[in-house]
Amino acid sequence: MDQQDFYFLKELVEAPSPSGFEQPAQRRLRREMEGVADELHTDLMGNVIARIRGKKENALKVMLSGHCDEIGFIVQFIDDNGFIYFQPIGGIDPHIVPGQRVMIHTGNGPVLGVVGKKPIHLMEAKDRETVVKFKNQHIDIGAAGKEETAALVAIGDPVTFAVTLERLQGDRLTSRAFDDKMGAFIVAQVLKEVRRRGAADVDLYGVFTVQEEIGLRGAKTSAYGVAPDIGIAIDVSFATDCPEVDKKELGEIKLGQGPIISRGANINPRLFQMLTETAREKEIPFQVEAAARATGTDANAIQVNREGVAAALVSVPLRYMHTPVEVLSQADLDYTVRLLTELLYRIGKREDFIPN
């Protein structure tokens, strides 16, 4: 990843995009895809679809999906003192929210706030053992009263954690929203790589899906629209090389050891085989994760689309998923881009993907 790629990743991750409010991230992705895609359009749901036509007539259609939405909050109510009450968007642990800085993305630009927290001195012993429910948490923007807050913030404004992407030691990065804007980043990088190398046989669709975090909604409609033969979701999965995650339950997954290729019912076995063979031949490290049932990713919606699609899930190991301090290794992003690019030039006939 060069400096320019790094800044693209940083801008994309930092562009606010809670589910349903993905437009700033989508604008950044469209800008990146101009001059790369043969066709570029945004559908009525807000999915951005970038196509690179295949060299062959009637070639197989391959859809790569990276969801561009992130978890966040939505403004629900402003009380008489100007404090803001909110709902979570997507799966957020209410434990980690009090004491955080948040950004409210209003019609007139960002407004900084903090999620208030009762001082520990004032907490009774039993309060320290329990979680403060979202309905009892509030955002303080420093306003003097309801009128001042209501002049700045509207009901339904989206909210994100107010953190940016930063470097940690080695090649490790921390940010909010790597889940899954790093997947959208990988899809964009693969399309750029294919443009550089010259189109593959396959008809390639890079889809930046919306609303994954609230039920795979963008993948459902865009997979119907694109009608791919092969669909690969690029997402994050749990690294187990940090405290308090159980390898017996999740397997051995480490940062920096390459993409995770899932195996199980949600995955076409021939596509799985082609992915692992490609990785071995090109000496790209990879890890395998078992998935006993439908995964909670776009790969699920894509697989059961229309009359069925050969689906795969390629994930990047991530620590502390759905927190403002997600951690990943840059090397894993590079390995994943290489693996997917190499795979595209190997895809031939539809029959090759019929399990038998």
- Positions in the binding site for Zn ion (CB under 5 A): 179
- Active-site hit among 22, 70, 212, 289: 212
Alpha-carbon distance of 283 to 258, in angstroms, equals 11
Alpha-carbon distance of 183 to 233, in angstroms, equals 8
Neighbours of 306 (CB within 10 A): 9
Burial category of 47 from C-beta neighbours within 10 Å (exposed 0-12, middle 13-18, buried 19 and up): buried
CB of 64 to Zn ion, least distance (A): 18
Listed residue (73, 28, 43) closest to 213, CA to CA? 73
Q: Which is nearer to Zn ion, 19 or 257 (CB)?
A: 19
CB of 287 to Zn ion, least distance (A): 19
Alpha-carbon distance of 15 to 31, in angstroms, equals 13
CB of 296 to Zn ion, least distance (A): 8
Q: What share of the chain is helix, strand, coil (3-state, %, to 5)?
A: 35, 25, 40
Q: Which is nearer to Zn ion, 67 or 338 (CB)?
A: 67
Q: Which residue is nearest to Zn ion (CB)?
A: 179
Q: Which is nearer to Zn ion, 94 or 269 (CB)?
A: 94
CB of 66 to Zn ion, least distance (A): 12
CB of 89 to Zn ion, least distance (A): 11
Listed residue (233, 229, 205) closest to 53, CA to CA? 205
Question: Catalytic annotation on 11?
Answer: no
Q: Which is nearer to Zn ion, 179 or 332 (CB)?
A: 179
Structure tokens at 109: 């630009």
Pairing of strands 287-291, 260-264: parallel
Q: Which is nearer to Zn ion, 111 or 301 (CB)?
A: 301
CB of 321 to Zn ion, least distance (A): 6
Query: What is the DSSP-derived secondary structure letter of residue 60?
Result: P
Q: Which is nearer to Zn ion, 19 or 268 (CB)?
A: 19
Beta strand segments in the chain, E:
39-42, 48-52, 61-67, 72-78, 84-89, 101-106, 109-115, 139-140, 158-161, 166-167, 172-175, 203-209, 230-238, 260-264, 287-291, 310-318, 326-329
Catalytic residues, which ones?
Answer: 212
